[in-house]
């Protein structure tokens, strides 16, 4: 084993960049979107009637009748066959990680020995996957055994390898959502419905408000052969043990460094594959930790952007293998270096082209911006514990509360400009216009937003919810998460707040006040209630902030099983049911699923850890111990009593190693017992609480193991070390 570890490392180090699959003779603009059935393909492949019906469905939410669906399916089939497609699948996002697919061949047998390619409106619109094996928190047991998938025509159909993929929602026969997409779509509708009446006061032409999402995906790459030599990485996606490398990220040299050529080739291939799928991938760069990278597209409509994130996560894995890498999407694959997140840049915008989270063109535009800005902050304050719960998973728990984004407290960073604006608005009369300074000259003592503001917003990397000039950046989302979890709650919470705001505004307007005065009079008490609570521009990692946040009434819970309870607080149920996003039954069922997944993840980690301690670590330590013992015995034979001084270092080492072996084996045995006890707990919440303790114990068990790695002969250590995993590419 030991020699092969060095061979693996040498091989990995010697690997050259794999060739990139550049489409011959084509510019990116020519292959961009070639594998998506987008509007251009619709025009080309659909008959006039089907096209009209489909666009009415996509743009205006009209239902799609069977005849139109048949016409659309026929056009898609022609297009798909031209690309060598042989299979079709409904593609959906169950409550497990990632996406689910069940591929059906397009071939139909006519019973007389003949075959034809067949795909009709019915198979496009609906399928019944065997749903019983997806988590449902008891919904199907209580209501109805079957679940079905239904096409979401607002997400374009795409081709992956030989398969036509149809994005769908996944729901039970009684209508409960069993996936991430359904509630997200409901929340997007809720926030649009709540925003439009407010926007119309400023611009009567507005008929729809879009929620935008721009995700930034962080990830690690490891060489696939070294990965395969680490059972913990293979099975849990993270290293459960491993002593810190002497050098990790302290020099910050990776962040600014050049992208290694093997990695650059992978990134290029990934971009090409993404561009073919119409994913507007834009930036790529190194991240803070060694072997950590980031990729981000240009933001888009949230439902589509989220589908694209799911597609990219799938793509990353398959493209990486071609380059001899494995992608780690786990939030904390390595102890002692930064983990990976997925910043969710979020904003709202009207169908008339106004971005609601950016200063406007004039005083009224600025007032509209401030209205949406303040109400977003108020929603985040009302539901700060719930928002934290949306990102609370067993894997993201390793980032939460550690010294890296996100702190386990959801506060909002405004930056100096907007903080000053809010303070001024509180002081000045309600009819004071909000000016863009520089454009309209110097407005004496009035409320001003400097013109350079959008490009120049100050940054605070420690804030989980930061305003960055034309959007908010929710930084707490985990790298492996489905963004829909966080985006559903954020949009729903903002919708609820906007409904309340509009009701209060109507009261002011009914008094005969001018619009700007009525808006400011409604906003002022809201500003006063948030400015010293959720708004916080200081260091989110500091211990003082934890004390201060608690005093302010923000949620400071750090245990994931407890955080999950936020979903069923009366305030959360009221918000979700009022906005039509989740029923109470769905919320309860989804919590069961969350606790169950939490427990299972920790259970798997704990099993892998104990087995590795037993089968890898202790045997390696014992073989080294044996070598030391033989050496000591030999010394005694040769030097007699003098051996004690001759062998002082060996004796001391022996003692240390024995202590660590004892500690590791005791802790491993204790963990086995704790697991046994946890496994018989019936209640999912109680079980998750028990597993939360086991998750803590995993840290404790890691200590003697990492100590042994430091003490034991490098030649006999069976696992690739951090310095080998993190610096080879
Ligand atoms: P940084 O690393 O500085 O945060 P990046 O350029 O890596 O910035 O990512 C910013 C992300 O935010 C991109 O996906 C970008 O398209 C997106 N974005 C920019 N403006 C908006 C907006 N108004 N709404 C939502 N997302 C936005
Ligand atoms: Mg960012």
Q: Give the integer Cα–Cα distance in Å for 277 and 70.
A: 24
Tell me the three state secondary structure of residue 40. Answer: helix
- Closest ligand to the CA of 457: 1
Q: Is the dihedral of CA 144, 149, 150, 152 positive or negative?
A: positive
- Closest ligand to the CA of 343: 2
pLDDT score of 106: 85
Contact between 710 and 243 (Cβ < 8 Å): yes
Task: Report which secondary-structure segment, H or E, holds 325.
Answer: strand 325-328
Q: Which ligand 1 atom sits nearest the alpha carbon of residue 470? A: 23
Bond preceding residue 406 cis, omega within 30 of 0: yes
Q: Which ligand 1 atom sits nearest the alpha carbon of residue 346? A: 25
DSSP annotation of 179 reads: B
CA atoms within 13 A on the CB side of 198: 34
Range of weakest confidence among 18-32, 373-387, 446-460, 626-640: 446-460
- Closest ligand to the CA of 287: 1
> Which residue is listed with tokens 């492996």?
480
Q: What is the pLDDT of residues 677-693, one digit of tens each?
A: 999 999 999 999 999 99
Q: Residue 89's beta-bridge partner residues?
A: 103, 165
Tell me the three state secondary structure of residue 493. Answer: helix
Q: How far is the CA of 467 from the centre of ligand 1 (A)?
A: 11
pLDDT score of 143: 46
Q: What is the pLDDT of residues 141-165, one digit of tens each?
A: 544 456 889 999 999 999 999 999 9
Token pair belonging to 490: 């954020």
Closest C-alpha residue for ligand 1 atom 24: 347
Q: Give the integer Cα–Cα distance in Å for 333 and 337.
A: 9
Q: Which ligand 1 atom sits nearest the alpha carbon of residue 297? A: 14
CA atoms within 13 A on the CB side of 581: 34
Closest C-alpha residue for ligand 1 atom 3: 468
**Closest by CA position to 270, among listed 295, 304, 303:** 295
Distances in Å between the alpha carbon of 367 and those of 370, 399, 434? 5, 37, 7
The yes-or-no verdict on residue 510 having pLDDT over 80 is yes
The yes-or-no verdict on residue 376 having pLDDT over 90 is yes
**How many CB atoms within 10 Å of residue 725?**
27
pLDDT score of 639: 92
Token pair belonging to 298: 């240009």
pLDDT score of 130: 65
Closest C-alpha residue for ligand 1 atom 8: 216
Q: Which ligand 1 atom sits nearest the alpha carbon of residue 298? A: 16
Q: What is the DSSP string of 65-86?
A: PHHHHHHHHHHHHHHHHHTT--
Q: Give the integer Cα–Cα distance in Å for 40 and 44.
A: 6
Q: Give the integer Cα–Cα distance in Å for 689 and 595.
A: 9
Q: How far is the CA of 473 from the centre of ligand 2 (A)?
A: 7
- pLDDT (mean) for 315-343: 95
**Closest by CA position to 344, among listed 237, 238, 488, 454:** 488
> Which of 292, 471, 472, 475 has the most ligand 1 atoms within 8 A of CB, as the residue to mutate?
471
- Closest ligand to the CA of 283: 1
Q: Residue 101's beta-bridge partner residues?
A: 91
The yes-or-no verdict on residue 294 having pLDDT over 60 is yes
> Which of 191, 210, 215, 216 has the most ligand 1 atoms within 8 A of CB, as the residue to mutate?
216
Contact between 606 and 614 (Cβ < 8 Å): no
Q: How far is the CA of 724 from the centre of ligand 2 (A)?
A: 29
pTM: 0.95
> Which residue is listed with tokens 């990219």?
312
Which value, in Å, is the radius of gyration of the alpha carbons in the chain? 29
Token pair belonging to 715: 């030649």
pLDDT score of 438: 57
State residue 214 phi and psi, 5-degree precision.
-125, 110
pLDDT score of 456: 54
- Residues lining ligand 1, Cβ inside 6 A: 212, 214, 216, 283, 296-299, 343, 345-347, 355, 470-471
- pLDDT (mean) for 496-511: 98
Q: Which ligand 1 atom sits nearest the alpha carbon of residue 459? A: 3
- Closest ligand to the CA of 294: 1
pLDDT score of 457: 62
Average per-residue pLDDT for the chain: 91
Q: How far is the CA of 466 from the centre of ligand 1 (A)?
A: 12
The yes-or-no verdict on residue 436 having pLDDT over 50 is yes
Contact between 676 and 664 (Cβ < 8 Å): no
> Which of 213, 283, 299 has the most ligand 1 atoms within 8 A of CB, as the residue to mutate?
299
pLDDT score of 444: 53
Range of weakest confidence among 64-68, 181-185, 299-303, 482-486: 64-68
The yes-or-no verdict on residue 129 having pLDDT over 50 is yes
Contact between 206 and 350 (Cβ < 8 Å): yes
Closest C-alpha residue for ligand 1 atom 1: 216
- What band does 530 get if pLDDT is binned at 50, 70 and 90? very high
**Interior angle at CA 185, CA 180 and CA 191, nearest 5:** 125
């Amino acid at each position: 084993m030991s020699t092969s570890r060095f061979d693996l490392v040498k091989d990995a180090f010697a690997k050259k960049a794999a060739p990139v699959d550049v489409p011959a003779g084509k510019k990116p603009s020519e292959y961009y979107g070639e594998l998506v059935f987008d509007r251009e393909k619709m025009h080309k492949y659909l008959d006039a009637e089907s096209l009209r019906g489909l666009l009415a469905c996509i743009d205006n939410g009209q239902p799609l009748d069977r005849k139109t669906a048949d016409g659309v399916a026929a056009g898609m089939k022609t297009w798909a066959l031209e690309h060598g497609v042989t299979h079709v699948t409904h593609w959906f996002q169950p409550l497990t990680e990632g996406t689910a697919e069940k591929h059906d061949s397009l071939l139909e047998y006519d019973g007389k020995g003949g075959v034809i390619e067949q795909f009709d409106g019915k198979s496009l619109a609906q399928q019944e996957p065997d749903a019983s094996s997806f988590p449902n928190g008891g919904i199907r047991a209580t209501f109805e055994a079957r679940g079905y998938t239904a096409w979401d025509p607002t997400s374009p159909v795409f081709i992956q390898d030989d398969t036509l993929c149809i994005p769908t929602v996944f729901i039970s026969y009684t209508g409960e959502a069993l996936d991430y997409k359904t509630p997200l779509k409901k929340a997007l509708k809720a926030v649009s419905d709540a925003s439009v009446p407010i926007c119309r006061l400023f611009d009567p032409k507005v008929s729809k408000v879009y929620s935008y999402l721009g995700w930034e995906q962080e990830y690690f790459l490891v060489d696939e052969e070294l990965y395969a030599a680490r059972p913990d990485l293979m099975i849990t996606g993270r290293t459960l043990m491993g002593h810190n490398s002497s050098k990790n990220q302290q020099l910050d040299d990776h962040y600014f460094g050049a992208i290694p050529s093997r990695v650059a080739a992978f990134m290029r291939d990934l971009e090409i594959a993404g561009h073919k799928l119409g994913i507007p991938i834009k930036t790529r760069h190194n991240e803070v930790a060694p072997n950590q990278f980031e990729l981000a597209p240009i933001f888009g409509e949230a439902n589509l952007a989220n589908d694209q994130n799911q597609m990219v996560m799938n793509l990353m894995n398959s493209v990486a293998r071609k380059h001899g890498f494995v992608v780690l999407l786990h939030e904390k694959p390595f102890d002692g270096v930064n983990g990976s997140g997925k910043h969710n840049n979020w904003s709202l915008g009207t169908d008339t082209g106004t971005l609601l989270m950016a200063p406007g063109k004039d005083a009224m535009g600025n007032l509209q911006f401030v209205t949406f800005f303040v109400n977003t902050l108020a929603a985040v304050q009302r539901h700060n514990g719930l928002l934290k719960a949306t990102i609370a998973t067993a894997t993201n728990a390793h980032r939460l509360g550690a010294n890296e984004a996100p702190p386990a407290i959801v506060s909002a960073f405004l930056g100096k400009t907007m903080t000053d604006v809010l303070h001024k608005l509180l002081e000045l009369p309600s009819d004071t216009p909000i000016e863009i300074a520089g454009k309209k000259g110097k407005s004496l003592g009035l409320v001003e937003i400097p013109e350079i503001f959008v490009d120049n917003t100050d940054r605070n990397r420690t804030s989980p919810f930061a305003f960055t000039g034309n959007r908010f950046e929710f930084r707490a989302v985990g790298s492996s998460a489905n963004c829909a979890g966080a985006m559903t709650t954020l949009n729903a919470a903002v919708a609820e707040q906007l409904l309340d705001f509009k009701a209060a505004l109507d009261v002011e307007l009914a008094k005969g006040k001018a619009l700007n005065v009525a808006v400011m009079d409604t906003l002022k008490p809201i500003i006063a209630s948030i400015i010293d609570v959720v708004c916080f521009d200081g260091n989110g990692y500091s211990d003082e902030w934890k004390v201060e946040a608690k005093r302010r009434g923000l949620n400071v819970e750090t245990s994931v099983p407890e955080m999950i309870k936020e979903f069923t607080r009366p305030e959360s149920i009221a918000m979700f049911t009022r906005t039509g996003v989740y029923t109470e039954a769905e919320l309860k069922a989804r919590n069961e699923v969350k606790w169950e997944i939490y427990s299972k993840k920790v259970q798997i980690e704990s099993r892998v850890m104990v087995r590795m301690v037993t089968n890898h670590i202790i045997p390696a330590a014992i073989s080294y111990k044996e070598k030391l013992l033989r050496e000591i015995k030999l010394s005694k034979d040769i030097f007699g009593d003098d051996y004690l001084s001759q062998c002082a270092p060996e004796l001391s080492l022996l003692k240390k190693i024995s202590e660590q072996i004892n500690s590791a084996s005791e802790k491993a045995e204790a963990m086995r017992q704790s697991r046994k006890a946890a496994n018989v707990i019936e209640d999912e919440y109680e079980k998750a609480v028990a597993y939360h303790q086991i998750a803590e114990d995993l840290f404790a068990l890691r200590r003697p193991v990492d100590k042994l790695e430091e003490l034991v002969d490098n030649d006999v250590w069976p696992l690739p070390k951090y310095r080998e995993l993190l610096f080879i590419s």
